Amino acid sequence: MSNSIFGLIASTPKIKKPKSIASLQLMFIVRIWKALGEDRRLIVWSVIFGLLFTGLGIVPPLLVREMIHWLEDGGSAGNFALLGLLVAGVYGLRGGMRYLYGLMSHIAAYRTLHRLMNSVYRHVQSFSPSYMNRQHSGNLVARTIGDVEAIEDFIAHGIPETMLALVIPLTMSVVLFVLNWKLALIALLPLPIVAVAVYLMTTRVANRWRSVRGRFADLSAMIQDHLGGLPVIQSFTHEAESARRIQREGQKYRDSIIQANRWSLVPAGIIEAASGAGLVLILCSGGWMAAGGPLPVDVADLVVFLMYLGQIFLPFLRLANLMENLQKAAASAERVFELLDTPSTIVDRADAVVPAERRFDVEFDSVNFSYRRDLPVLRDVSFHVSEGETVALVGVTGVGKSTACHLLVRFYDVESGSIRLGSQDVRTLPLEYLRSQVALVSQDVFLFQGTIRENLLLGNLNATNDELREAAQTANAEKFILSFPKGYDTLVGERGVRLSGGQKQRIAIARAMLKDAPVLVFDEATSAIDAETESLIAEAVKRATAGRTVLIVAHRLSTIMAADRILVFEEGRVVESGTYEELVAGNSHFARLCRHQENVMW
């Protein structure tokens, strides 16, 4: 499909959120219509089949009316047999039309559900860490899956049922007015009252269901958070308190959904009562007229009125019974579209191009950055890493070393100054190109649920088995991998829970080696590795990094000593630069740190 669902949705003009419920509903319908994309034709076909279903529903009461006339005129048995066949044929066609209109709407709904879910996920992937740090992953999961799935109800049921709720009463009302306009006025007297009452109830319920979806997202986020941290909860024996917190949040969700249902079930009761009122009016006034009142009515017409009246109110009743799901879908759609309308802050510039001359030296030029305006992290940081040079960034925790690494790959953008890769400001490079040139190994290793092989192949999906094994050997990982019965096909569990910290970090290093990027960034990549393993990896990494530009954030002295040059950070500034021998020779800040702790575990 050339135009993605996201393209269709994103092309919607950004409109200030209107205050009126009617405007919100109109905007919601427009967005849903755009979201349908090429499947709008299926919805059109669904409506067409629904109209045919409706049209065929008009016929049986008219045939019954004709049968009554034949009875009054003494019709033959053959006529009644023909009439029976016609009724059977009509109901057979109605069954086919009902199947087709339901099938078309559900196919459109599930296709849209699939595209919308993919689009939301792709859009969320473009968000910067600064945005993700302000969100809860459970809330985003609820929007990406739960809220998107709820929209299916509106597309599959809401659109066709709403159309039928409009067309059936209108069509049958026209027939009733043709048969007897005076009786039609009496019979349909409750209809406008029902329409107004249902509309007013619907607008009131909408806000309550928005609150329900918000509560559901909060509850999902809390459960996901607690399950992820279950070992911590158990280690501190906080199971009871954790359960109480979930219970309190669950009670809020329970109360909000009960309150929403108190109002969303009202329309069904109003419609049921109104249909009964219409029937009472027909029985009283129509019976009186048929019995010789001043406005005579044909008994056959009275039967048609009675049969039509139930069908006129039936679509409203079906719509009212769907009210809970439709309101839930409307609230979910609003949350999904709000997420899709959230712009990504780290994006390619319009003039971003891949440089013709590719060089891989790194330069920080007067870089300033802060996560909060009142708390600067990097202050006027400037340094240059030559192509093929290995530079270690050292300093106590919280001085901006990891932040500098994240700025290089544009997880964040600098506030002032610039970062250059091969003389090109990283902001002028396409993100895909920039990040493909840098392999980042972080202290907090994330492994996806799957096999060791699948996690390694994230570095290079097209890697051969020999390349895979070579990367594992370089990171000193193959020995422990082959110790597992299934070797590279061993499942690592969620976030690599079945592996030790050192094993996970060696897999992360192997993954970076497999990427074969010209720039390597090791952000505390050896922190969870024992001394023996570290010495083996140090030699292997030295071979793997030959000819590459390398930034190493490290606290271990053995790792720092292997660097060509050391940059010492203090309070967000680079205060010293030089080789290990140069820095330890005098009374430098680095030398004092070395003397403070022999193995430099800052």
| DSSP string covering 70-82 | HHHHT--HHHHHH
Residue with tokens 């299916």: 152
Distance in angstroms (rounded) separating the CA atoms of residues 83 and 77: 10
3-state secondary structure of 514: helix
Is there a single domain that holds both residue 335 and residue 379?
Answer: no
Max Cα–Cα distance, the chain, nearest Å: 123
Confidence of residue 233 (pLDDT cuts 50, 70, 90): confident
How far is it, in rounded angstroms, from Cα 32 to Cα 147?
A: 14
Nearest residue to 8 (alpha-carbon basis) of 43, 29, 33: 33
More confident residue, 377 or 208: 377
Q: For residue 400, give every residue at least 6 positions away whose Cβ sits within 8 Å of its Cβ, in sequence order, or none.
A: 369, 377, 378, 381, 569, 572
Which residues contact residue 303 at a Cβ distance below 8 angstroms, ignoring those fewer than 6 apart? 61, 64, 65, 68
According to DSSP, the β-strands at 362-372 and 375-385 are antiparallel
| pLDDT for the residue numbered 399 | 87
The pLDDT tens digits of the residues spanning 113-134 come to 888 888 888 888 888 777 777 7
Task: Tally the residues of the chain.
Answer: 602
CA 437 to chain centre: 29
- Name 209's Cβ contacts closer than 8 Å, sequence gap at least 6: 260, 264, 324, 327, 328, 330, 331
Query: Quick one: 427 and 558 in the same domain?
Result: yes
The Cα–Cα gap between 52 and 46 comes to 10
Q: Do 313 and 193 contact (CB within 8 A), yes or no?
A: no
Cβ-count burial 145-161 (b if 16+ within 10 Å, e if not): ebbbebbbbbbbbbbbb
Per DSSP, the three-state class of 417 is strand
Instruction: Pick the last residue of a domain from 471, 501, 516.
Output: 516
555: Cβ–Cβ under 8 A, 6 or more apart, which residues? 394, 524, 527, 600, 601, 602
Distance of CA 26 to the CA centre of its chain: 23
pTM of the model: 0.69
592 pLDDT exceeds 90? Answer: no
The per-residue pLDDT for 600 is 44
Q: Are residues 555 and 486 in the same domain?
A: no
| 7 is a domain residue | no
Rounding to the nearest 10 degrees, give the CA dihedral for residues 218, 221, 222, 223: 120
**Cβ 362 vs Cβ 384: under 8 Å:** yes
pLDDT band at 2 (very low <50, low <70, confident <90, very high): very low
Residues 204 and 118 in one domain: yes
Same structural domain for residues 512 and 527? no
First CA to last CA across the chain, in angstroms?
54
CA atoms of 492 and 481, how far apart (whole Å): 11
Q: In angstroms, rounded to a whole number, what is the distance separating the alpha carbons of residues 144 and 338? A: 12
Please tell me whether residues 134 and 251 are part of one structural domain.
yes
Is residue 9 pLDDT above 70, yes or no? no
DSSP secondary structure string, 31-45? HHHHHHGGGHHHHHH
CATH number at residue 305: 1.20.1560.10
**Residue 351 domain-assigned (yes or no):** no
Least reliable range by pLDDT among 13-27, 123-137, 148-162, 579-593? 13-27
Edge-first strand order for the sheet with 416-421 is: 375-385, 362-372, 416-421, 424-425
Instruction: Assign residue 457 the CATH number of its domain.
Output: 3.40.50.300
Question: Do 432 and 466 fall within a single domain?
Answer: no
Residue 352 lies in a domain: no
Number of domains in the chain: 3
Q: For 148-162, 359-373, 413-427, 530-544, which range has the lowest pLDDT when averaged over its residues?
A: 530-544
How large is the average pLDDT for residues 95-103? Answer: 90
Averaged pLDDT of the chain: 79
Question: Which of 298, 313, 340 is the last residue in one of the domains?
Answer: 340
From 542, 548, 538, select the one nearest 516 (Cα to Cα).
Answer: 548
Judged by average pLDDT, the poorest of 64-73, 416-425, 431-440, 516-525 is 64-73
Domain annotation covers residue 348:
no
- Higher pLDDT, residue 425 or 168: 425
Does residue 498 share a domain with residue 568? no
140 SS3 class = helix
Q: 44 and 187, same structural domain?
A: yes
Residue 577 has pLDDT above 80, yes or no: yes
Q: What's the pLDDT score for residue 453?
A: 92
Same domain, 222 and 129: yes
Q: Which of 460, 482, 516 is the last residue of a domain?
A: 516
Closest CA to 489 of 457, 462, 450: 450
> Which helix or strand (DSSP H or E) is residue 101 part of?
helix 77-125
Within this chain, do residues 333 and 221 fall inside the same structural domain, yes or no? yes
> Do 267 and 186 belong to one domain?
yes
- DSSP annotation of 491: B
pLDDT at 17 over 90: no
Mean pLDDT of 207-236: 74
- Which residues span the domain enclosing 505? 447-516
Work out the average pLDDT over 451-465. Answer: 89
Dihedral sign for Cα atoms in the order 455, 460, 463, 469: negative
Q: Any bridge partners for residue 573, and if so which? A: 570
Instruction: Dig out the tokens for 535 from the structure.
Output: 């010495």
